[in-house]
Amino acid sequence: MKLENTTGTLYLCATPIGNLEDMTFRAVKILREVNFIAAEDTRHTRKLLTHFDIHTPLIRYDEFSKTQSGEKILNLLRGGKNIACVSDAGLPAISDPGADLVKLAVESNIKVCPIPGANAALSALICSALDTIKFTFVGFLPKTAKNRRELLTELSTRPETLIFYESPHHLKKTLTELLDALGNRNAVLARELTKVHEEFLRGKISELAENLSEPIGEFVIVVEGKKNSDEVQTPAENFIDVYKNLISQGIDKKSAIREVAKKFNLNRREIYTAVINL
């Protein structure tokens, strides 16, 4: 029997990323049984709940309301209420709100419980035919050009498969940035996962960027990790292109040389000599 003063449980509940049949029996049961559902977009979640005949009250919990809502949810949990956190699609806390709520709950000794299910990154990875043993989930790249560049430079040396999220209207630009930073590697675009027009586009990053057709839809980019053979020789033309690209983005010569040297593991003087006449 539940004691009056027992704290509640925070359930992190997966929802479908397209196909409603991916909703699990357990997710439906938990969403019916909890006292409240914390949802990223209450209108969006309401449609899902209506489909599954769930009538649990909703609390808005998104990036904008998370400080205020977080406190409210925590108080309800402390008071013994059970709460399920859902995002618009897939797993909450994966490129979606939820992670901060988990931290708050754990800091307050509140039990957290996963209700697993659909996730775009892992669904894309398992169909990619790229290495699934070692991989890095990058999610969305940072917004500022500088932070993006720094992260991509760091990722360029990693041997494991890389998984990115991106919104449809930035896809082409991001593929071009990946090409510049990582080289022309094998990659997979996993488009509209679990939906009617699901497809996997496979090829070199340059081919994928060239052959993109509208409408784009939702997709995950999975990129092969750096191969040992990449380290053997980097053609001079390649690092000069990267240097030119950095200069065209307004980076000063010294910083561009430093960045290229780091990326290609070359001596700065070598690069300086090669670019002096540009």
Could you give the angle at the alpha carbon of 128 between the alpha carbons of 122 and 132, nearest 5°? 60
CB 162, CB 222: distance < 8 Å: yes
d(CA 60, CA 40): 6
Which of 8, 70, 90, 183: binder of ligand SAM (CB under 6 A)?
90
DSSP 165-228: EE-GGGHHHHHHHHHHHH-S-EEEEEESTTSTT-EEEEEEHHHHHHT--S---SEEEEEPPPPG
Contact flag: residue 82 with ligand SAM (CB under 6 A): no
- Binding range to ligand SAM, per CB under 6 A, among 118-126, 199-207, 239-247, 252-260: 118-126
Contact flag: residue 175 with ligand SAM (CB under 6 A): no
Residue with smaller CB distance to ligand SAM, 8 or 92: 92
Q: Quote the least distance from Cβ 210 to ligand SAM, whole Å.
A: 20
Contact flag: residue 167 with ligand SAM (CB under 6 A): yes
Terminal Cα-to-Cα distance of the chain (whole angstroms): 78
Q: Quote the least distance from Cβ 260 to ligand SAM, whole Å.
A: 30
Q: How many residues does the chain have?
A: 278
| Structure token digits, residue 10 | 């925070």
Which of 18, 97, 183, 225: binder of ligand SAM (CB under 6 A)?
18
Tokens 């498969």 identify what position? 161
Which of 49, 105, 220, 251: binder of ligand SAM (CB under 6 A)?
220
Contact flag: residue 219 with ligand SAM (CB under 6 A): yes
Residues that bind ligand SAM (CB under 6 A): 17-18, 87, 89-91, 94-96, 119-121, 165-167, 190, 192-195, 218-220
